[in-house]
Amino acid sequence: MQNMGTGSAARGGLRERKKRATRAALTEAAVRLAAEHGAENVTVDAISEAVGVSARTFFNYFDSRDDAFVMVDAESSARIRHALLRAPSELSPLEALRDALAAELAEIEQRHELWSLHATVLHRSPHLLARSLGAQMADEFGLAEAVAERIGAYPHSAPVDSSDRAGRAAASAEQRRSALGLYPRLLAAVGTSAVRVAVQHWSIRQDEVAFAVVFRETFEQLAVGLHVPPEEPHRP
């Protein structure tokens, strides 16, 4: 899950909160500069200067300049997975996933402008959009693994017989993918798609309804199996 806000920053110690705040400031600066000047014209130095940190500090948070535009946030994805695994056992997997995602989206209404700028930047730069989609797929796979672990449906893979580290890692990833059942894959895909649809739907109705209401209704419809709802009033 790519994180656009700092809604989870209240958790953890002071050092962690500062790290999350710095990362959020760097991603925001990168997106605003890219929206104004074009991503290809924005440098690491410009992003760092906008936040008041050094380029060396920038690379403490990102492996490359493009990562700041794409906003790959491993910590956000990890928080969602951990929240899913720690959720009360009486919650269904869908309910646990809903609550884990909601915690990361707590500040979306305050950060909506940045979400919009981010979408603009990605669509102006096809290579960034492709990179973002790849990151989303990786996040979705990690989320599916967490779902499988929560429901006890992830068998241990056999050891990989390879002396090559890269070969072992590739083979291990393939084994993990093969071990995933349909339900974890589907729930992870449905959950991430539900967030996207909820954000898009709220974006065009934000003067009428709070995001939390749209998000809750989205998951309520999933929970009842996407029954056809009563016809909505006609909107001009």
Model confidence band, residue 228 (pLDDT cutoffs 50, 70, 90): low
Model confidence band, residue 2 (pLDDT cutoffs 50, 70, 90): low
Question: What does the alpha-carbon distance between residue 76 and residue 105 come to, in Å, rounded to a whole number?
Answer: 10
Question: What does the alpha-carbon distance between residue 226 and residue 229 come to, in Å, rounded to a whole number?
Answer: 8
Question: What does the alpha-carbon distance between residue 99 and residue 42 come to, in Å, rounded to a whole number?
Answer: 36
**Domains in the chain, start-ordered, CATH in brackets?**
14-223 (1.10.357.10)
Specify the pTM: 0.72
Tell me: the pLDDT tens digits for 182-218? 999 999 999 999 998 998 888 888 778 888 899 999 9
Note the pLDDT of residue 9.
42
Model confidence band, residue 40 (pLDDT cutoffs 50, 70, 90): very high
Q: What is the mean pLDDT of the chain?
A: 82
Instruction: Answer whether residue 154 shows pLDDT above 80.
Output: no
Residue matched to tokens 């500062």: 18
* Lowest mean pLDDT, pick from 13-22, 92-101, 140-149: 13-22
Identify the top-confidence range among 21-35, 126-140, 193-207. Answer: 21-35
Tokens found for residue 2? 């790519």
Q: Once rounded to an integer, what is the mean pLDDT over residues 58-84?
A: 86
Tokens found for residue 202? 């709220």
Measured on CA atoms in the order 150, 139, 190, 172, is the torsion positive or negative? negative
Per residue, what are the HEC states of 183-215? HHHHHHHHHHHHHHHHHHHHHCCCCCCCHHHHH
Distances (CA, A) of 234 to 154, 202, 211, 228, 231: 46, 17, 21, 16, 9
